[in-house]
Amino acid sequence: MQTNSLRNKIILIGFMGTGKSAVADGLASVLELHKHDVDVAIVKHAGQPISDIFAQSGEETFRNIETEVLQELLYSPEASIIATGGGAVLKQVNRDTMLEHGLVIHLIASADVIISRVKHDTGRPLLQGDVTERVHQLMSARAGAYDFAHYSIDTSNLSLPEVVSQIVELWHQANLK
């Protein structure tokens, strides 16, 4: 992988409920880097919860804020861990900028694992209604959308520390800083 001073981030992508935020916390603590959660930054930027942004302004507005916030984090000079939202991969500009600025890791979990994690959650507007049906629909609509990552890790049979240590190993191998 080519060394470039700007490629100093670990960027986690993956479907909702694949553990991006928890893994980002683990990485931040082991590597002693700041962690940024794009969803949290969007809520701060918009001054309202994600479900309200979707309800009042629509998904397109949410996606535009998501791109703005993500680009700002990616162009920041500090080395960091960035947990993205599950739909951040849908725009080409986001995919290109993620690849330019760091090591992109795709976290995978089975539909059953995802459903068990998100079924009681009310903060994800795209999963309202029949959660099982929505997860299956969205997973098939997004098939292949995460394949641009440098690496994919199936977390289904791994503990959180195992996922974190695999990524730490990949980060050291990539030697991007």
Could you tell me which of 154, 172, 171 has the C-alpha nearest to residue 163?
A: 154
Q: Is 86 in the site for ligand S3P (CB under 6 A)?
A: yes
Q: Is 19 in the site for ligand S3P (CB under 6 A)?
A: no
State the maximum Cα–Cα separation within the chain, in Å, rounded to a whole number.
46
CA distance 33 to 71: 19
Which one of 19, 26, 87, 102 is in contact with ligand S3P (CB under 6 A)?
87
Which one of 12, 27, 50, 167 is in contact with ligand S3P (CB under 6 A)?
50
What tokens does 56 get? 């009042």
* Owner of token pair 């979707």: 54
Q: Is 39 in the site for ligand S3P (CB under 6 A)?
A: yes
We find the least distance from the C-beta atom of residue 155 to ligand S3P, in angstroms, to be 14
Which one of 16, 65, 164, 176 is in contact with ligand S3P (CB under 6 A)?
16
